Structure formats: structure tokens, C-alpha cells
Amino acid sequence: MKPKLILASSSPFRRMLMENAGLSFEAHAAAIDERALEAPLEKAGATPDAVALILAKAKAEEVSRRFPDGLVIGSDQTMSLGDRVFHKPKDMAEAAGHLQALSGVTHRLNSAVAIVSNGVVLWDHLAHAELRMRPLSADFIARHLTRVGERALSSVGAYQLEGQGIQLFEKIEGDYFTILGLPMLPLLKKLRELGAIDG
């Protein structure tokens, strides 16, 4: 019998990716305080890659404690510009600040995924996407944020590539799944290897 697949996330985007791939799964959000976990890591100088991996594993481990017989998939994404790690903007002024900082430069999305069973990490993986934003004037940023409204506060970079955020970019390197925060191709490969999905 195939193990029950559980996605340790409340993200509608990650659920959509799993559903679109035809996977049968349950979704249960991890009961962890991400910022509380992240703060000491950042203070200790952890890289954006390390933070994403640690959080992906922590989410899967927490949900695995509640569903010990499931194969739990945890994921996390950080966004970095050099050494600076970005967080979701608290308000529209901070969203404008994010876009000004990203204007005309290339930033990186670091997407981590982990599979945990019975509290044991069976596998983890990290994927990257590089995104170059075109130079943006302060006036354009203000108009753009007026158009997209509160949606700008729901993502770490204050943009959604699947919406009007695509207009902010001039170059993108990396796959769609990594950008949305769940590297599907390596995940599906591992699930096949584990016998969790039809191979």
C-alpha cells in the first residue's frame, strides 16, 4: 500500500502545483513560528539556502509528528539579493522599498523541499531561480502597487509573476515550479523512487 502523502503547507500555490500534477494528498499547515526559527539563524549568519532548507525540514517534521505514517512534504522559499534576505512586506511602504531595492538588479529565489516520514528526514533538495528586474522609477512603483493592491503584501518580493508582477522583469532563469516555491521535478522523481506514486 502506498503511504499517504501530506503537504505541510497552507499555500494555495503549492497545493495547486500538487493537484495539477495529479497527486492524491492532504494538506496540513505546520504549526511553527517561521520568524522565530529564522531570526537566530540569520543572526548566526546562516545563508539564505540554509534558512530555506532548515524551515522546509522543520515544517515537514512538525506535521510528521501529527501524521507519523504519512510521507510529509515540507517546503520553504527565501529571497535574497547578495547577503540580504527579504521577508514579506508589512505594508505598502515596505513593498515599495522592496521593489526599489530590486530595481535594475538580479535577485535569487531559493526553494527548498524535504520529505519526512516518522520524524526522519528521508530527502531534501534545493533549487534556485535568478530574476532580473528592469529599472523602475518611483512613480511607476507607486502606480504598480496601486494597481495590484494588497496582493503585493502576500509575497516576499512584493510581486506575483503569475499576475501583473511579470511586467517588472526583463530576464528570468529558473523553472516555474522553483519560482512558485515547490521544485516539482526533483520532488516527483524522489516520490517515484520511494514508491509513493506510480513510476
Confidence at residue 199, expressed as pLDDT on a 0 to 100 scale:
86
Active-site annotation, residues: 76
Condensed to tens digits (0 to 9), the pLDDT of residues 97-148 reads: 999 999 999 999 999 999 999 999 999 999 999 999 999 999 999 999 999 9
Confidence at residue 35, expressed as pLDDT on a 0 to 100 scale:
84
**Among residues of the chain, what percentage have pLDDT more than 70?**
100
The dihedral sign for the CA sequence 135, 106, 94, 112: positive
- Rounded Cα–Cα distance for residues 54 and 59 (Å): 9
> Look-up: residue for cell 500538487?
18
Mean pLDDT of 76-88: 90
Confidence at residue 34, expressed as pLDDT on a 0 to 100 scale:
87
Q: What is the 3-state composition of the chain as percent helix, strand, coil, each rounded to the nearest 5?
A: 45, 25, 30
Between 11 and 189, whose confidence is greater? 189
Condensed to tens digits (0 to 9), the pLDDT of residues 14-32 reads: 999 999 999 999 999 999 9
129: β partners:
109
Confidence at residue 11, expressed as pLDDT on a 0 to 100 scale:
86
185: β partners:
none
Residue range 5-193 in CATH 3.90.950.10: yes
Between 88 and 115, whose confidence is greater? 115
pLDDT exceeds 90 at position 84: no
Condensed to tens digits (0 to 9), the pLDDT of residues 37-51 reads: 988 998 898 999 999
Which of 32-36, 110-114, 185-189 is least confident? 32-36
Confidence at residue 197, expressed as pLDDT on a 0 to 100 scale:
94
Q: Where are the domains of the chain?
A: 5-193
- What value does the mean pLDDT of the chain take? 94
